[in-house]
């Protein structure tokens, strides 16, 4: 198959998943064309069957807000026509599903039947999609997609509920991980992160409010009172300053390390003893899966997509959003008991391999593509 993939190219789980999917599809013999405003951050070298097409946005002086979505639709249209793509697979609804819908309908008007698959990742539905500026176009664009997928049952249900879109057929295809890359046996150098005897507690995110960074810092403050530990924070975003201020206020700055944005985290996760993800919402929590594959138990929030990723009491512990005391207690109990920790660590890796290894998940996308390509009369998910 010849597939066009559009995603956010910078840091973030949706771009990471889209890129790994494209690379995995290319390894399975498909031709993959990435279409975005920059090269996806995990696409670093030339790979057979993988191409990148940059969207050029004209900065005409009249445009106070250059219309990226239109430029994207035009590039999707051009690339699909020229390269004879079979389908466009867009990740994150806004603006990608909208641009994909325009491109597909332009192609159809010219007699070329191309399919549009949209994968919902989380905040495109729960935050951006609920913003009055984007709500109606989000709903319209997802309804116009030929197939919709969501990265968890939690996100599928939220989409049905928040958009009152009971007739939207949404297939759940979970995120995946390459277990060869996320493997703690592969990497050395723990001494770079912590002193001997110290536990390494880790968090990786875009430091947005939805991640509840203050809960994370308060949780760690409780943990380090009970045992020697260091908090390693990877990523950057609007809440980072708040995190630094709170750590200083709690007198734990010396135990908290900010590493900033990094392209690859497998070698860091390999040295973590515990991963913390106290998010308000999390459609899936790709980084929690990457932690599990690396043999790192996870403590996070229940009532989110993490319920489908973490096996409660086996690979980690989940507690209600904001229950810092309970999350800290779970963290301490795991870190303080080496035998228990080793059991959780093995189970975490096993769970990642058995349920979320890329070789298991990528065929689900291929099956969906085959299905939609056979569906000659498709004109949107709610029309079925």
Using CB under 6 A as the binding criterion, the count of chain residues that bind ligand GMT stands at 20
Q: How far is the CB of 260 from ligand GMT (least distance, A)?
A: 17
Residue bearing tokens 């734990």: 252
Determine the Cα–Cα distance for residues 45 and 364; give it in Å rounded to an integer.
Answer: 26
For the record, the structure tokens of 338 come out as 């080496």
Considering only residues 79 to 118 of the shown chain, the ones binding ligand GMT according to CB under 6 A are 92
Which residue stretch of 11-19, 56-64, 69-77, 290-298 sits at the interface with ligand GMT (rule: CB under 6 A)? 11-19
| Choice from 98, 118, 224, 281 touching ligand GMT (CB under 6 A) | 281
Give 59's DSSP letter: -
Which residue stretch of 31-39, 96-104, 109-117, 121-129 sits at the interface with ligand GMT (rule: CB under 6 A)? 121-129
| Choice from 19, 80, 118, 123 touching ligand GMT (CB under 6 A) | 123
Q: Answer yes or no whether residue 122 interacts with ligand GMT by CB under 6 A.
A: yes
Which residue stretch of 29-37, 67-75, 202-210, 240-248 sits at the interface with ligand GMT (rule: CB under 6 A)? 202-210
Identify whether the C-beta of residue 154 lies closer than 8 Å to the C-beta of residue 170: no
Q: How far is the CB of 221 from ligand GMT (least distance, A)?
A: 24
Site string for ligand GMT, 32-51 (x = CB under 6 A): --------------------
Q: Answer yes or no whether residue 159 interacts with ligand GMT by CB under 6 A.
A: no
Q: Answer yes or no whether residue 282 interacts with ligand GMT by CB under 6 A.
A: yes
Pairing of strands 316-319, 298-301: parallel
Count CB neighbours of 364 within 10 A: 15
Determine the Cα–Cα distance for residues 203 and 291; give it in Å rounded to an integer.
Answer: 10
Q: Strand, helix or coil at 73? A: helix
Determine the Cα–Cα distance for residues 106 and 76; give it in Å rounded to an integer.
Answer: 10
Q: How far is the CB of 281 from ligand GMT (least distance, A)?
A: 5
φ, ψ of residue 274 in degrees (nearest 5): -155, 140
| Choice from 6, 14, 98, 315 touching ligand GMT (CB under 6 A) | 14
φ, ψ of residue 259 in degrees (nearest 5): -95, -10
For the record, the structure tokens of 148 come out as 């919709």
Q: How far is the CB of 305 from ligand GMT (least distance, A)?
A: 6
For the record, the structure tokens of 168 come out as 């939207």
CB of 76 or CB of 277, closer to ligand GMT: 277
Q: How far is the CB of 237 from ligand GMT (least distance, A)?
A: 9
User: What is the torsional sign of CA 46, 48, 50, 54?
Assistant: positive
Q: How far is the CB of 262 from ligand GMT (least distance, A)?
A: 15
| Choice from 75, 149, 206, 224 touching ligand GMT (CB under 6 A) | 206
Q: Answer yes or no whether residue 138 interacts with ligand GMT by CB under 6 A.
A: no
In which order are the strands placed within the sheet that holds 115-120? 50-54, 31-36, 2-6, 87-91, 115-120, 147-150, 170-172
Instruction: Please identify the residue of the shown chain whose CB is closest to the bound ligand GMT.
Output: 122
CB of 341 or CB of 356, closer to ligand GMT: 356
Residue 295, Ramachandran bin (φ over 0: left; ψ between -120 and 50: alpha; else beta): left
Which residue stretch of 31-39, 129-137, 203-211, 368-376 sits at the interface with ligand GMT (rule: CB under 6 A)? 203-211
Q: Enumerate the H helices of the chain as residue ranges.
A: 13-27, 68-83, 93-109, 123-126, 135-144, 153-162, 213-226, 240-249, 266-269, 286-293, 306-309, 324-336, 338-356, 358-374
Which residue stretch of 13-21, 68-76, 136-144, 251-259 sits at the interface with ligand GMT (rule: CB under 6 A)? 13-21
| Choice from 33, 121, 199, 203 touching ligand GMT (CB under 6 A) | 121
The binding site for ligand GMT (CB under 6 A) comprises 12-14, 17, 92, 121-123, 151, 175, 206, 208, 210, 281-286, 305
């Amino acid at each position: 198959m010849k597939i066009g993939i559009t995603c956010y190219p910078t840091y973030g789980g949706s771009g990471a998943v889209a890129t790994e999917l494209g690379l995995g599809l290319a390894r399975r013999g498909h031709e993959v064309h990435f279409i975005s405003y920059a090269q996806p951050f995990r696409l670093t070298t030339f790979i057979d069957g993988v191409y990148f097409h940059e969207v050029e946005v004209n900065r005409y002086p009249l445009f106070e807000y250059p219309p990226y979505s239109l430029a994207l639709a035009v590039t999707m249209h051009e690339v699909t026509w020229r390269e004879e793509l079979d389908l466009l697979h867009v990740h994150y609804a806004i603006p990608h599903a909208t641009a994909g819908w325009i491109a597909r309908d332009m192609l159809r008007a010219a007699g070329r039947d191309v399919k549009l698959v949209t994968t919902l990742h989380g905040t495109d539905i729960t935050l951006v999609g609920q913003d009055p500026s984007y709500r109606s176009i989000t709903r319209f664009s997802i309804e116009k997609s030929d197939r919709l997928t969501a990265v968890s049952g939690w996100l599928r249900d939220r989409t049905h509920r928040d958009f009152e879109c009971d007739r939207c057929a949404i297939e759940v295809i979970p995120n995946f991980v390459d277990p060869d890359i996320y493997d703690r046996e592969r990497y050395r150098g723990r001494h770079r992160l912590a002193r001997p005897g110290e536990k390494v507690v880790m968090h990786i995110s875009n430091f947005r409010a939805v991640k509840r960074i203050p809960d994370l810092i308060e949780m760690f403050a409780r943990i380090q009172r009970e045992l020697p530990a260091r908090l390693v924070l990877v990523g950057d975003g609007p809440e980072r300053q708040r995190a630094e201020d709170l750590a200083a206020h709690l007198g734990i700055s010396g135990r908290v390390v900010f590493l900033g944005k990094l392209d690859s985290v497998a070698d860091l996760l390999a040295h973590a003893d515990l991963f913390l993800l106290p998010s308000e919402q999390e459609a899936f929590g790709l980084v929690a899966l990457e932690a599990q594959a690396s043999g790192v138990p996870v403590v996070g929030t229940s009532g989110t997509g993490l319920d489908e990723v973490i096996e409660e009491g086996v690979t980690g512990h989940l507690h209600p959003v904001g229950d810092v005391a309970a999350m800290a207690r779970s963290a301490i109990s795991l870190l303080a008991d080496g035998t228990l920790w080793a059991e959780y660590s093995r189970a975490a890796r096993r769970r990642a391999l058995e349920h979320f290894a890329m070789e298991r998940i990528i065929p689900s996308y291929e099956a969906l593509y085959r299905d939609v390509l056979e569906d000659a009369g498709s004109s949107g998910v709610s029309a079925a």
